[in-house]
Protein backbone atom coordinates (compact mmCIF):
# COMPACT_ATOMS: atom_id res chain seq x y z
CA UNK A 1 0.00 0.00 0.00
CA UNK A 2 1.02 3.64 -0.19
CA UNK A 3 2.04 4.57 3.35
CA UNK A 4 0.05 7.56 4.53
CA UNK A 5 3.12 9.21 6.00
CA UNK A 6 4.72 9.21 2.53
CA UNK A 7 1.54 10.63 1.01
CA UNK A 8 1.59 13.35 3.68
CA UNK A 9 5.24 14.15 2.84
CA UNK A 10 4.29 14.44 -0.82
CA UNK A 11 1.34 16.72 -0.02
CA UNK A 12 3.62 19.00 2.03
CA UNK A 13 6.01 19.10 -0.92
CA UNK A 14 3.19 20.14 -3.28
CA UNK A 15 2.03 22.85 -0.87
CA UNK A 16 5.35 24.30 0.28
CA UNK A 17 7.66 23.82 -2.69
CA UNK A 18 5.51 23.42 -5.79
CA UNK A 19 2.98 25.98 -4.48
CA UNK A 20 0.01 24.07 -5.89
CA UNK A 21 -3.47 25.41 -5.19
CA UNK A 22 -5.39 23.94 -2.24
CA UNK A 23 -7.96 22.60 -4.71
CA UNK A 24 -5.28 20.61 -6.60
CA UNK A 25 -3.65 19.43 -3.37
CA UNK A 26 -6.99 18.19 -2.03
CA UNK A 27 -7.67 16.26 -5.24
CA UNK A 28 -4.18 14.68 -5.30
CA UNK A 29 -4.57 13.55 -1.68
CA UNK A 30 -7.94 11.95 -2.42
CA UNK A 31 -6.53 10.32 -5.58
CA UNK A 32 -3.56 8.77 -3.78
CA UNK A 33 -5.68 7.49 -0.89
CA UNK A 34 -8.02 5.92 -3.46
CA UNK A 35 -5.11 4.28 -5.27
CA UNK A 36 -3.76 2.98 -1.95
CA UNK A 37 -7.13 1.40 -1.14
CA UNK A 38 -7.22 -0.25 -4.57
CA UNK A 39 -3.76 -1.76 -4.06
CA UNK A 40 -4.71 -3.14 -0.64
CA UNK A 41 -7.92 -4.75 -1.93
CA UNK A 42 -6.10 -6.21 -4.93
CA UNK A 43 -3.39 -7.76 -2.76
CA UNK A 44 -5.92 -9.08 -0.24
CA UNK A 45 -7.79 -10.89 -2.99
CA UNK A 46 -4.67 -12.49 -4.43
CA UNK A 47 -2.58 -13.08 -1.29
CA UNK A 48 -5.09 -13.37 1.53
CA UNK A 49 -4.79 -11.49 4.78
CA UNK A 50 -1.08 -12.18 5.37
CA UNK A 51 0.38 -10.06 2.61
CA UNK A 52 2.98 -7.33 2.30
CA UNK A 53 1.78 -4.77 -0.25
CA UNK A 54 4.92 -2.65 -0.18
CA UNK A 55 5.71 0.12 -2.63
CA UNK A 56 8.22 -2.13 -4.41
CA UNK A 57 5.39 -4.48 -5.39
CA UNK A 58 3.52 -1.76 -7.28
CA UNK A 59 4.38 -2.02 -10.95
CA UNK A 60 2.91 -0.84 -14.26
CA UNK A 61 0.47 -3.79 -14.30
CA UNK A 62 -1.02 -2.70 -10.96
CA UNK A 63 -1.39 0.90 -12.13
CA UNK A 64 -3.00 -0.15 -15.42
CA UNK A 65 -5.44 -2.35 -13.49
CA UNK A 66 -6.26 0.63 -11.28
CA UNK A 67 -6.90 2.87 -14.28
CA UNK A 68 -9.06 0.16 -15.86
CA UNK A 69 -11.21 0.06 -12.73
CA UNK A 70 -11.91 3.79 -13.09
CA UNK A 71 -13.42 3.66 -16.57
CA UNK A 72 -17.18 3.90 -16.45
CA UNK A 73 -17.01 5.72 -13.11
CA UNK A 74 -15.13 8.89 -14.06
CA UNK A 75 -14.54 11.11 -17.06
CA UNK A 76 -11.27 10.68 -18.90
CA UNK A 77 -10.03 14.05 -17.68
CA UNK A 78 -10.50 12.86 -14.08
CA UNK A 79 -8.74 9.55 -14.82
CA UNK A 80 -5.87 11.50 -16.39
CA UNK A 81 -5.57 13.59 -13.22
CA UNK A 82 -5.54 10.48 -11.04
CA UNK A 83 -2.75 9.00 -13.16
CA UNK A 84 -0.88 12.30 -12.89
CA UNK A 85 -1.15 12.12 -9.09
CA UNK A 86 0.28 8.59 -9.01
CA UNK A 87 3.03 9.47 -11.51
CA UNK A 88 4.04 12.61 -9.58
CA UNK A 89 4.03 10.72 -6.29
CA UNK A 90 6.39 8.02 -7.53
CA UNK A 91 8.63 10.64 -9.12
CA UNK A 92 8.81 12.31 -5.70
CA UNK A 93 9.72 8.98 -4.04
CA UNK A 94 12.32 8.24 -6.72
CA UNK A 95 14.03 11.61 -6.20
CA UNK A 96 14.12 11.03 -2.44
CA UNK A 97 15.70 7.60 -2.98
CA UNK A 98 12.70 5.75 -1.51
CA UNK A 99 12.05 3.73 -4.66
CA UNK A 100 14.21 2.52 -7.53
CA UNK A 101 11.95 3.58 -10.38
CA UNK A 102 8.66 5.19 -11.36
CA UNK A 103 6.21 2.46 -12.46
CA UNK A 104 3.82 5.06 -13.88
CA UNK A 105 6.42 6.85 -16.01
CA UNK A 106 5.68 5.02 -19.27
CA UNK A 107 1.90 4.68 -18.92
CA UNK A 108 0.13 6.78 -21.55
CA UNK A 109 -2.32 9.41 -20.38
CA UNK A 110 -5.90 8.65 -21.53
CA UNK A 111 -6.92 10.56 -24.64
CA UNK A 112 -9.15 13.36 -23.43
CA UNK A 113 -12.58 14.19 -24.73
CA UNK A 114 -12.77 17.42 -26.69
CA UNK A 115 -15.38 19.18 -24.62
CA UNK A 116 -16.37 22.64 -25.74
CA UNK A 117 -16.61 25.17 -22.91
CA UNK A 118 -20.10 25.81 -21.54
CA UNK A 119 -20.95 29.48 -21.88
CA UNK A 120 -23.98 31.76 -21.81
CA UNK A 121 -25.32 34.11 -24.43
CA UNK A 122 -25.41 37.81 -23.54
CA UNK A 123 -29.19 37.83 -23.00
CA UNK A 124 -28.87 34.73 -20.80
CA UNK A 125 -26.33 36.56 -18.63
CA UNK A 126 -28.74 39.46 -18.28
CA UNK A 127 -31.56 37.06 -17.32
CA UNK A 128 -29.30 35.51 -14.68
CA UNK A 129 -28.48 38.90 -13.17
CA UNK A 130 -32.16 39.83 -12.92
CA UNK A 131 -32.96 36.91 -10.59
CA UNK A 132 -31.52 38.03 -7.20
CA UNK A 133 -33.95 39.93 -4.99
CA UNK A 134 -31.96 43.12 -4.44
CA UNK A 135 -34.03 43.98 -1.37
CA UNK A 136 -32.15 41.24 0.53
CA UNK A 137 -28.53 41.70 1.67
CA UNK A 138 -27.33 38.20 0.75
CA UNK A 139 -29.06 38.43 -2.63
CA UNK A 140 -27.03 41.60 -3.25
CA UNK A 141 -23.98 39.51 -2.41
CA UNK A 142 -25.04 36.88 -4.92
CA UNK A 143 -25.46 39.50 -7.64
CA UNK A 144 -22.04 40.97 -6.82
CA UNK A 145 -20.50 37.48 -7.10
CA UNK A 146 -22.01 36.91 -10.55
CA UNK A 147 -21.08 40.41 -11.73
CA UNK A 148 -17.45 39.97 -10.65
CA UNK A 149 -17.17 36.50 -12.20
CA UNK A 150 -18.52 37.78 -15.51
CA UNK A 151 -16.55 41.02 -15.36
CA UNK A 152 -13.16 39.51 -14.47
CA UNK A 153 -13.23 35.85 -15.54
CA UNK A 154 -11.87 34.65 -12.20
CA UNK A 155 -11.53 31.01 -11.24
CA UNK A 156 -13.82 30.15 -8.33
CA UNK A 157 -10.78 29.63 -6.06
CA UNK A 158 -9.57 33.12 -6.98
CA UNK A 159 -12.96 34.66 -6.22
CA UNK A 160 -13.14 32.80 -2.91
CA UNK A 161 -9.74 34.20 -1.87
CA UNK A 162 -10.56 37.87 -2.58
CA UNK A 163 -10.22 40.27 0.35
CA UNK A 164 -11.50 43.80 0.86
CA UNK A 165 -8.13 45.12 -0.31
CA UNK A 166 -8.25 43.11 -3.55
CA UNK A 167 -10.37 45.71 -5.34
CA UNK A 168 -9.30 49.28 -6.09
CA UNK A 169 -12.67 50.98 -6.45
CA UNK A 170 -11.22 54.25 -7.75
CA UNK A 171 -9.07 52.69 -10.49
CA UNK A 172 -11.57 49.87 -11.19
CA UNK A 173 -8.92 47.17 -10.84
CA UNK A 174 -8.94 43.82 -9.07
CA UNK A 175 -5.78 42.11 -7.81
CA UNK A 176 -5.93 38.33 -7.68
CA UNK A 177 -3.51 35.52 -6.82
CA UNK A 178 -3.81 32.79 -9.46
CA UNK A 179 -2.20 29.40 -9.99
CA UNK A 180 1.37 29.09 -8.77
CA UNK A 181 0.87 32.08 -6.45
CA UNK A 182 1.15 34.40 -9.46
CA UNK A 183 -0.46 37.79 -9.06
CA UNK A 184 -2.31 39.53 -11.86
CA UNK A 185 -4.26 42.75 -12.15
CA UNK A 186 -7.60 42.61 -13.95
CA UNK A 187 -9.92 45.50 -14.92
CA UNK A 188 -13.33 45.32 -13.29
CA UNK A 189 -16.43 46.73 -14.97
CA UNK A 190 -18.52 49.61 -13.67
CA UNK A 191 -21.58 47.41 -13.11
CA UNK A 192 -19.52 44.97 -11.05
CA UNK A 193 -18.02 47.80 -8.99
CA UNK A 194 -21.51 49.18 -8.37
CA UNK A 195 -22.81 45.74 -7.33
CA UNK A 196 -19.91 45.16 -4.91
CA UNK A 197 -20.38 48.58 -3.28
CA UNK A 198 -24.11 47.92 -2.74
CA UNK A 199 -23.35 44.49 -1.31
CA UNK A 200 -20.74 45.84 1.12
CA UNK A 201 -23.09 48.56 2.33
CA UNK A 202 -25.93 46.09 2.87
CA UNK A 203 -23.84 43.49 4.74
CA UNK A 204 -21.91 45.67 7.18
CA UNK A 205 -23.98 44.16 10.01
CA UNK A 206 -22.44 40.76 9.28
CA UNK A 207 -18.91 42.01 9.79
CA UNK A 208 -17.30 43.10 13.04
CA UNK A 209 -19.09 46.01 14.68
CA UNK A 210 -17.65 49.17 16.23
CA UNK A 211 -14.12 48.46 15.00
CA UNK A 212 -12.26 49.24 11.81
CA UNK A 213 -12.66 46.34 9.41
CA UNK A 214 -9.18 45.12 8.34
CA UNK A 215 -8.47 45.06 4.63
CA UNK A 216 -7.48 41.39 4.93
CA UNK A 217 -11.13 40.51 5.64
CA UNK A 218 -12.71 38.25 2.99
CA UNK A 219 -14.69 40.12 0.35
CA UNK A 220 -17.49 37.57 0.01
CA UNK A 221 -18.92 36.21 3.26
CA UNK A 222 -21.71 33.90 4.37
CA UNK A 223 -24.52 34.72 6.81
CA UNK A 224 -22.15 34.06 9.74
CA UNK A 225 -19.69 36.66 8.48
CA UNK A 226 -17.14 33.99 7.49
CA UNK A 227 -15.45 33.56 4.12
CA UNK A 228 -17.80 32.08 1.51
CA UNK A 229 -16.51 28.75 0.20
CA UNK A 230 -16.04 27.84 -3.44
CA UNK A 231 -18.64 25.12 -3.08
CA UNK A 232 -21.20 27.63 -1.79
CA UNK A 233 -20.41 29.95 -4.71
CA UNK A 234 -21.12 27.07 -7.08
CA UNK A 235 -24.48 26.40 -5.41
CA UNK A 236 -25.41 30.08 -5.69
CA UNK A 237 -24.72 30.16 -9.44
CA UNK A 238 -26.63 26.93 -10.05
CA UNK A 239 -29.61 28.16 -8.02
CA UNK A 240 -30.06 31.32 -10.10
CA UNK A 241 -29.38 29.45 -13.34
CA UNK A 242 -32.23 27.04 -12.63
CA UNK A 243 -34.53 29.88 -11.57
CA UNK A 244 -33.71 31.68 -14.84
CA UNK A 245 -34.68 28.64 -16.91
CA UNK A 246 -31.08 27.93 -17.89
CA UNK A 247 -29.31 24.58 -17.73
CA UNK A 248 -28.33 23.28 -14.31
CA UNK A 249 -24.80 22.80 -15.67
CA UNK A 250 -24.07 26.53 -15.32
CA UNK A 251 -21.21 26.96 -12.84
CA UNK A 252 -18.63 29.56 -11.80
CA UNK A 253 -16.38 28.09 -14.49
CA UNK A 254 -19.16 28.68 -17.04
CA UNK A 255 -19.00 32.36 -16.12
CA UNK A 256 -15.25 32.30 -16.79
CA UNK A 257 -15.88 30.70 -20.19
CA UNK A 258 -18.60 33.26 -20.88
CA UNK A 259 -16.23 36.12 -19.99
CA UNK A 260 -13.57 34.86 -22.44
CA UNK A 261 -16.01 34.07 -25.25
CA UNK A 262 -17.76 37.44 -25.09
CA UNK A 263 -14.43 39.29 -25.07
CA UNK A 264 -13.30 37.46 -28.21
CA UNK A 265 -16.69 38.00 -29.85
CA UNK A 266 -16.29 41.71 -29.06
CA UNK A 267 -12.94 41.91 -30.84
CA UNK A 268 -10.42 41.36 -28.01
CA UNK A 269 -7.15 39.78 -29.13
CA UNK A 270 -6.16 36.34 -27.89
CA UNK A 271 -3.04 37.51 -26.03
CA UNK A 272 -5.04 40.02 -23.98
CA UNK A 273 -7.61 37.38 -23.05
CA UNK A 274 -4.76 35.05 -22.06
CA UNK A 275 -3.39 37.69 -19.69
CA UNK A 276 -6.81 38.39 -18.19
CA UNK A 277 -7.49 34.69 -17.59
CA UNK A 278 -4.03 34.07 -16.14
CA UNK A 279 -3.25 31.24 -18.55
CA UNK A 280 0.37 30.08 -18.76
CA UNK A 281 0.01 28.92 -22.34
CA UNK A 282 -1.75 30.57 -25.26
CA UNK A 283 -2.96 27.14 -26.39
CA UNK A 284 -5.13 26.94 -23.25
CA UNK A 285 -6.86 30.16 -24.27
CA UNK A 286 -7.29 29.09 -27.90
CA UNK A 287 -10.15 26.73 -27.06
CA UNK A 288 -12.37 29.79 -26.74
CA UNK A 289 -11.71 30.72 -30.37
CA UNK A 290 -13.44 27.50 -31.43
CA UNK A 291 -16.63 28.66 -29.71
CA UNK A 292 -16.46 32.03 -31.44
CA UNK A 293 -15.69 30.43 -34.80
CA UNK A 294 -18.61 28.02 -34.46
CA UNK A 295 -20.97 30.94 -33.91
CA UNK A 296 -19.36 32.85 -36.78
CA UNK A 297 -19.88 29.91 -39.15
CA UNK A 298 -23.51 29.64 -38.06
CA UNK A 299 -24.10 33.32 -38.84
CA UNK A 300 -22.23 32.99 -42.14
CA UNK A 301 -24.24 29.96 -43.24
CA UNK A 302 -27.52 31.74 -42.47
CA UNK A 303 -26.62 35.08 -44.02
CA UNK A 304 -24.31 34.53 -47.01
CA UNK A 305 -26.11 33.99 -50.36
CA UNK A 306 -23.47 31.49 -51.56
CA UNK A 307 -23.11 29.51 -48.34
CA UNK A 308 -25.73 26.97 -49.32
From 28, 150, 199, 288, active-site residue: 288
Annotated catalytic residue 227: no
Asked if 168 contacts 161 with a C-beta cutoff of 8 angstroms, the reply is no
From 15, 29, 64, 179, active-site residue: 179
As to burial, measured by CB atoms within 10 angstroms (0-12 exposed, 13-18 middle, 19+ buried), residue 154 is buried
Annotated catalytic residue 256: yes
Asked if 87 contacts 31 with a C-beta cutoff of 8 angstroms, the reply is no
Annotated catalytic residue 28: no
What CA–CA distance (Å, rounded) separates 200 from 88?
Answer: 43
b/e burial code for range 24-37 (CB count within 10 A of at least 16 → b)? bbebbbebbebbbe
From 64, 76, 253, 287, active-site residue: 253
Q: What is the 3-state secondary structure (H, E, C) of 77-124?
A: HHHHHHHHHHHHHHHHHHHCCCCCCCCCCCCCCCCCCCCCCCCCCHHH
From 155, 238, 257, 262, active-site residue: 155
- Residue 169 DSSP label: T
From 194, 207, 279, 287, active-site residue: 279
Kindly list the catalytic residues. 155, 179, 253, 256, 279, 288
Amino acid sequence: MLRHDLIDQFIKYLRNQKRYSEHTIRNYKIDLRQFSEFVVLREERSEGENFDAGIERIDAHVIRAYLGSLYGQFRRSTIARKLSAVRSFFLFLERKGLTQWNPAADIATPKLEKNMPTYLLVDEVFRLFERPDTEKPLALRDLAIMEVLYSCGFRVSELEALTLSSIDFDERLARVIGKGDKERIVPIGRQAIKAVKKYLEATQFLRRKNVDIPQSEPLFINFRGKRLSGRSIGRIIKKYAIESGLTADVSPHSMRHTFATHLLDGGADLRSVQELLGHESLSTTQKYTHVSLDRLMEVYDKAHPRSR
